[in-house]
Amino acid sequence: MQMKVVKFGGSSLADADHFRQVASIIKADPCRHYVVASAPGKRFSADIKVTDMLYRCYDMIRSREDITDYYQQIKDRYNGIIADLGLNFDIDGELEYVKNAMTHASGRDYAASRGEYLNSLILAKYLGFAFIDAENVIFFKDNGSFDAERTQVAMREELKKYEYAVIPGFYGIMPNGTIKTFSRGGSDVTGSIVAAAANADLYENWTDVSGFMMADPRIVDKPCSIETITYRELRELSYMGAGVLHEDAIFPVRAAGIPINIRNTNAPEDAGTMIVATTASYDADRVITGVAGRKGFSVINIEKDMMNAEVGFTRRILDVLEDHEVSFEHIPSGVDTLSVIVPTAPLDDAKKEKLLAAITRRTRPDSVVIEDGLAMIAVVGRAMVKAKGTAARVFNSLAQAGINIRMIDQGSSELNIIIGVEESDYEAAINAIYKEFIC
């Protein structure tokens, strides 16, 4: 029999109706052995995710506010689900324990992680599955990075004990015994880790859309779904902001050769998107697989006559970035110019000043400036390598929409074209590119 690991996101476990739907999906296929659960997400667009409420509690405690009333809303959400499901399960002791632990100097990650912990307790009870606490099977190292080896061994041993189990997503444990979470959306990563440890045939990632779409549905009206996508394409798209799957969720399953199937909890009959290592055939009618992007980049523009003839020029720039712990995204260059694209968020004014001063000192440029307000867009497609004129089509579509291109970079794999535009042009640019390739 096949082995499937299934992960359900926050919107799939936001209320009792969704719990019922999730249970019917799991019970419909006995291959669905291990279930990774998120914290309750939004029930309607103005709703607040439980994870965000827990972060808020933590902040309130830090500023010495009383959380009793606010925490009651969290209690109500969990108790509401239990009551609505008609479950005979008393979670009040757990809820009180969490409140106490939060108020007595537990960390921010501990607070956030309790969203998945409590939801998974309820789901395990409802399904009649075992509960495996992630703090016993997901390990981080002292430096905060994920400890893949230790996790793999412990997770394998634990999974062997149970035929069916629920594991909370998002968190694990540090060597000193404190709880640590992955970054936001990290339950996808837990699902991938469990799938690899279980040696699964398939990792099903259940969410609120029928698969990966060619563009963000919040920007493009009803974009087409992608039937099949390779890990590499997906990595490019999710790194650039396509939010369906956490960008790190690909690694554990890719190493084990396990495909991911993105599915819709609210439309389980839809096939969704298959994420695979390679596809035997190209989607003949589509040159691009998808387009995604992110705002919030800055460009450091450096000009110096005869820069190209100066041995070690780029290395000196990279040294400066390294000294200031700034990671870069792209370095497009001309004969006498070089641009470095960096995320804006870690750069406050003081850090910018220091960077500029250090670049000036090390490279004696004719000019160096930092400009904010750049959005980066990745146009990704495994078929681009065979199709001529793709870049021209991208640029024409943007020109016709009156959008100025601030930067262009093409990956050596010819899997993607990266374009920088003004943040204010971002949505229009995504739409223009999408329409060019889909019509």
Residues 6+ apart with CB under 8 A from 47: 14
- C-beta of residue 370 within 8 angstroms of C-beta of residue 353: no
Amino acid, single-letter form, for residue 196: A
CA 402/CA 405 separation, integer angstroms: 10
The one among 30, 80, 175, 217 contacting ligand ADP by CB under 6 A: 217
Q: Which does 244 bind (CB under 5 to 8 A by kind): Mg ion, ligand ADP, ligand ASP, none?
A: ligand ADP
Is residue 409 part of the contact set for ligand ADP (CB under 6 A)?
A: no
In the complex with ligand ASP, which residue's Cβ is closer, 253 or 379?
Answer: 253
- According to DSSP, the residues that pair with 229 across neighbouring strands are 275
CA 426/CA 195 separation, integer angstroms: 36
Sites for ligand ASP among residues 86-115 (CB under 6 A): 115
Parallel, antiparallel or unpaired: strands 290-303 and 337-343: antiparallel
String of contacts with Mg ion for each residue 314-343, x by CB under 5 A: ------------------------------
Helix 148-160 and helix 187-197, axial crossing angle in degrees, nearest 10: 70
Residues 6+ apart with CB under 8 A from 378: 236, 237, 239, 240, 291, 292, 293, 416, 417, 418
Is residue 243 part of the contact set for ligand ADP (CB under 6 A)?
A: yes
Sites for ligand ASP among residues 23-62 (CB under 6 A): 38-39, 49, 51
**Sign of the CA dihedral running 38, 40, 43, 44:** negative
Is residue 168 part of the contact set for ligand ASP (CB under 6 A)?
A: no
Say whether 226 sits in a helix, a strand or coil.
coil
Give the gyration radius of the chain's Cα atoms.
24
Q: Nearest to residue 266, comparing CAs of 12, 48, 6, 7?
A: 12
The one among 21, 106, 120, 207 contacting ligand ADP by CB under 6 A: 207
Q: Which does 303 bind (CB under 5 to 8 A by kind): ligand ADP, Mg ion, ligand ASP, none?
A: none
Q: Which does 184 bind (CB under 5 to 8 A by kind): ligand ADP, Mg ion, ligand ASP, none?
A: ligand ASP
Nearest distance from residue 317's CB to ligand ADP, in Å?
33
Q: Which stretch binds ligand ASP (CB under 6 A): 184-192, 230-238, 270-278, 341-349?
A: 184-192
The one among 58, 71, 170, 206 contacting ligand ASP by CB under 6 A: 170
Nearest distance from residue 242's CB to ligand ADP, in Å?
4
Nearest distance from residue 182's CB to Mg ion, in Å?
11
* Residues recorded for the chain: 439
Is residue 242 part of the contact set for ligand ADP (CB under 6 A)?
A: yes
Is residue 222 part of the contact set for ligand ADP (CB under 6 A)?
A: no
CA 410/CA 332 separation, integer angstroms: 9
Is residue 13 part of the contact set for ligand ADP (CB under 6 A)?
A: no
CA 393/CA 371 separation, integer angstroms: 27
The one among 244, 359, 375, 376 contacting ligand ADP by CB under 6 A: 244
Q: Which does 51 bind (CB under 5 to 8 A by kind): Mg ion, ligand ADP, ligand ASP, none?
A: ligand ASP
Is residue 123 part of the contact set for ligand ADP (CB under 6 A)?
A: no
The one among 169, 185, 191, 223 contacting Mg ion by CB under 5 A: 185
The one among 4, 5, 6, 11 contacting ligand ADP by CB under 6 A: 11
Is residue 212 part of the contact set for ligand ADP (CB under 6 A)?
A: yes
CA 43/CA 54 separation, integer angstroms: 17
CA 27/CA 21 separation, integer angstroms: 10
Q: DSSP per residue over 56-99, as a string?
A: HHHHHHHTT---HHHHHHHHHHHHHHHHHHT-----HHHHHHHH
In the complex with ligand ADP, which residue's Cβ is closer, 185 or 381?
Answer: 185
Binding interface with ligand ADP (CB under 6 A) = 9-12, 38, 41, 185, 207-209, 212-213, 215-218, 242-244
Q: Which residues bind ligand ASP (CB under 6 A)?
A: 9-10, 38-39, 49, 51, 115, 169-170, 184-188
